């Protein structure tokens, strides 16, 4: 594969006009377009631009059924045909939403029946949920070395478009928002169609591992009870207990559910406050500034280390851009800004970690991406509905003498600090070393777990390694840390260290850098 095909190649990975490069560009544009609509809804800009109140308490409860259905259907969403059908459904849903938007505008928000307003909000939220699941699935398949560059490009591109729309306002801004949801859903359908067509012309070969599985969109063959010859990672490793998988998955998806509660608290408070008012000049300038890190990531002008640093700093940079853009009336819309920033922080962390944690949880790409997003929404929707329909949160804060703005800002600041620290820890412990990222970032096929792209058959001394040592070697050759290797193989870091010493002795190397160079040179 050409070294410029994806992020994480020689630098952070500029995109060339190859088939894989175009696909990566589509992933960035599709996710960014979906995020623009999400940011507009959380910041109340969608309501002010369109002229229809988008925050409808009852719609959240109805959307809960969609999130639960997505979680229940997750195991069946890995086939190429099913993925294509899901992307077509998202496209149809977006068309229905835009039609409802135009119809309600034509009748007038004040004259429209309550069921029409609820349907408009419900279909819009459901579409946003499903299209973001679609693009998170694509991010999972891109692989962890590509995650920082892809994350920077998608988040800053979405922020630039959102701020530009907020600066312009009116009909132009509404056209931009409508275009974003259409672009996102159409791109998802096109990619799904291409993958389905490619799958129909390919016959999986035995023992090819997850490389072909991920490309074809088929379900992984690994069972939750063992990681063996049939594993999606292509390893011949020792069995792993179902209890180990269950604990790791429960902790991961539980953290996603807790985030849904945190965001619901902030959004519930934002519903009782005024909307954020953008300063046209400042918002336009901030949109241009947001386009700079996006362009640097897009064109591959950042080093591997630079892309990771930019992704980790994204929440802080975004805060400065958003606060400056809405500085016209600092007291207005503070909670809406907090809701927007909370979503930016979490989206950045989520995209940054998705591919790595998919490998750790040992799950099929589509199932993992669906459950990841559904876990957030299953807690988010009912909490927002309960707090806004009863007013319990605002009443509680008033009884305690706490200003809602103060509480919301504190929650957002705490979430931002958590996300920044979590990404920094993830970059150190779970992403491959920068040298390994430069050497093999472009060699990963979409959706691969650690190690499928590395062939050790011609490396001298590899025949002396035990099956478990080969597992460790597969990950060490990609520059992963002992902590990550232990997580993926479900063994302790000390055990990984012992295996590493044996590998060094048998292959005649003295450091991880020498090991990486040896595997790249002879493998």
Q: Where exactly are the structural domains of the chain?
A: 19-202+209-222+241-434, 454-522
Q: What angle do CA 130, 132, 134 make, to 5 degrees?
A: 70
User: 317-341 pLDDT, tens per residue?
Assistant: 999 999 999 887 666 688 899 999 9
Do the beta carbons of residue 354 and residue 57 sit within 8 Å?
A: no
DSSP secondary structure code for residue 456 in this structure: -
DSSP 51: S
Largest Cα–Cα distance in the chain? 79
Contact 61, 382 (CB under 8 A): yes
Summary mean pLDDT of the chain: 82
Distance CA 518, CA 510 (A): 11
For residue 242, give both structure tokens.
């179902």
- What is the third-level CATH fold of 19-202+209-222+241-434? Growth Hormone; Chain: A; (1.20.1250)
d(CA 162, CA 47): 14
- Contact between residue 300 and residue 7 where contact means Cβ atoms under 8 Å apart: yes
pTM, two decimals, is 0.85
User: Could you tell me which CATH class the domain 454-522 is placed in?
Assistant: mainly alpha
Q: Out of 53-67, 164-178, 218-232, 505-519, pick the least confident.
A: 218-232
pLDDT at 475: 85
Mean pLDDT of 259-268: 92
Structure confidence by residue, pLDDT tens digits, 100-157:
999 999 998 888 899 999 999 999 999 999 999 999 999 998 888 889 999 999 999 9
Domain 19-202+209-222+241-434 and domain 454-522 have a common topology: no
- State how far the Cα of 481 lies from the Cα of 498, in Å rounded to an integer: 14
Can you tell me the distance from the alpha carbon of 129 to that of 437, in angstroms, rounded to the nearest whole number? 32
Is a pLDDT exceeding 60 seen at residue 383? yes
* Rounded Cα gap, residues 340 and 63, in angstroms: 20
Residue 320 to residues 237, 287, 291, 315, 365, Cα–Cα distance (Å): 48, 12, 14, 9, 34
């Amino acid at each position: 594969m050409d070294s410029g095909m994806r992020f994480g190649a020689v630098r952070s990975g500029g995109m060339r006009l190859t088939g894989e490069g175009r696909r990566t560009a589509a992933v960035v544009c599709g996710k960014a377009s979906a995020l623009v609509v999400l940011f507009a809804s959380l910041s109340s800009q969608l309501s002010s631009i369109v002229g229809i109140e988008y925050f409808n308490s009852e719609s959240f409860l109805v959307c809960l059924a969609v999130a639960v259905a997505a979680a229940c259907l997750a195991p069946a969403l890995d086939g190429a045909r099913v993925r294509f059908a899901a992307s077509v459904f998202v496209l149809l849903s977006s068309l229905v939403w835009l039609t409802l938007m135009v119809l309600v505008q034509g009748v007038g928000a004040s004259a429209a029946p309550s069921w029409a307003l609820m349907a408009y909000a419900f279909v819009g939220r459901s579409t946003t949920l499903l299209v973001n699941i679609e693009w998170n699935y694509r991010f999972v398949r891109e692989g962890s070395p590509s995650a920082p560059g892809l994350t920077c490009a998608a988040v800053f591109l979405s922020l630039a478009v959102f701020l530009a729309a907020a600066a312009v306002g009116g009909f132009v801004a509404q056209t931009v928002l409508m275009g974003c949801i259409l672009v996102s859903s159409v791109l998802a359908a096109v990619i799904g169609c291409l993958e389905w067509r490619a799958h129909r012309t390919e016959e999986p070969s035995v023992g090819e591992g997850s490389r072909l599985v991920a490309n074809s969109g088929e379900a992984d063959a690994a069972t939750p009870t063992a990681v063996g010859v049939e594993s999606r990672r292509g390893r011949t490793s020792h069995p792993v207990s179902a209890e180990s998988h269950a604990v790791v998955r429960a902790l991961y998806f539980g953290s996603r559910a807790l985030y849904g509660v945190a965001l619901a608290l902030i959004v519930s408070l934002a519903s009782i406050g005024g909307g954020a008012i953008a300063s046209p000049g400042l918002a336009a300038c901030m949109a241009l500034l947001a386009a700079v890190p996006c362009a640097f990531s897009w064109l591959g002008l950042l080093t591997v280390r630079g892309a990771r640093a930019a992704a980790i700093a994204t929440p802080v940079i975004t805060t400065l851009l958003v606060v400056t853009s809405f500085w016209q009336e600092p007291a207005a819309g503070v909670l809406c800004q907090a809701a927007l920033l909370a979503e930016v922080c979490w989206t950045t962390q989520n995209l940054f970690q998705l591919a790595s944690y998919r490998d750790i949880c040992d799950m099929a790409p589509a199932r993992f991406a669906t459950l990841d997003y559904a876990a957030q929404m299953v807690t988010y929707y009912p909490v927002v509905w309960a707090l806004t329909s009863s007013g319990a949160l605002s009443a509680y804060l008033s009884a305690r003498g706490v200003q809602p703005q103060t509480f919301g800002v504190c929650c957002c600041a705490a979430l931002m600090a958590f996300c920044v620290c979590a990404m920094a820890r993830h970059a150190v412990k779970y992403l491959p070393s920068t040298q390994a990222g430069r050497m093999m970032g472009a060699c990963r096929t979409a959706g691969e777990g650690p190690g499928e792209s590395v062939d050790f058959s011609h490396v001298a001394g590899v025949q002396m390694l035990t099956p478990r040592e080969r597992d460790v070697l597969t990950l060490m050759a990609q520059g992963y840390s002992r902590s990550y290797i232990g997580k993926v193989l479900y063994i302790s870091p000390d055990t990984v260290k012992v295996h590493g010493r044996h590998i060094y002795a048998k292959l005649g190397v003295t450091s991880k850098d020498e090991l990486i160079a040896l595997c790249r040179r002879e493998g």
